[in-house]
A = this chain, B = another copy of it.
Amino acid sequence: MTRALTQSMQDYVKAIYGLTRSGPASTNDIARKLSVSAASVTSMVKKLHELKLVRHTSYRGVALSHAGTMVALEILRHHRLLELYLNEALGYAWDEVHAEAEKLEHHISEDFEDRIAKVLGDPSYDPHGDPIPTKDGRMPPTVSERLADANINESVVIRRVSSHDAAMLRMLTSHGLLLNTTLRIAQRDADTGALVVQNGKRRITLDREITENIFIERL
């Protein structure tokens, strides 16, 4: 902890982390993700650059520095530990945890973080199957294959649903598509990419937007 970052700064760092999985983030991307104007992003990015949390060249996009990445991972650890805690200790459903964790993540102490981690048995994954960064900034391994890319007739297990869209999560729940559910790919719509999957006796059609956010393990 070099110095206290404002909540706003933390939100930007977190947003940039999420947007730079593959290459630098544009000003517009960040603005869209945070629902602020592009001008606001430019000015905040300038501040983060001065704090050495991001690298930025005008008109060329933004990337986190090592220090910035560490900050992002710490926030992500808070967020995902909270999600799991809300789920396991307080009975929140997986579609409810995100919003509450979002509000709390900036306000818990290191001590609180340590205590809930301990109560949870030092967990590696949150209720969506997303990895919880360790205290020293390492990321537990995760499956990276998308349901969208599975083959017809293949059997797969849902290991991660990387979405904060509560409506989508509830829809999956209603069809019995939870973490660790095994399903078989029945058919694929050549035009839209939508998949029909077989979950036990149920057949469910999932459009591409959904199948791209579901990560699987092949059987």
Contacts and interface: CB of A to CB of B under 8 A. Distances in A.
A108 B115 CA distance: 18
Interface string A72-116: 000000000000001001111000100110011011110110011
| Category for how many chain A residues contact B | 10 to 19
A109 B103 contact: yes
A90 B107 contact: no
Contacts of A109: 99-100, 103
B108 A90 contact: no
Contacts of A112: 86, 90, 100
A90 B119 contact: yes
- From DSSP, what is the main secondary structure of chain A's interface residues? helix
A78 to B, nearest CB: 12
B90 A115 contact: yes
A108 to B, nearest CB: 7
A104 B115 CA distance: 15
Interface string A99-140: 110011011110110011001000000000000000000000
Nearest to A109: B100
A96 B96 CA distance: 29
A56 to B, nearest CB: 30
Interface of A: 86, 89-92, 96, 99-100, 103-104, 106-109, 111-112, 115-116, 119
Given A100-B109, A104-B107, A106-B107, 12 more contacts: A86-B112, A89-B119, A90-B116, A90-B119, A91-B115, A92-B115, A99-B109, A100-B108, A100-B111, A103-B108, A104-B104, A107-B107
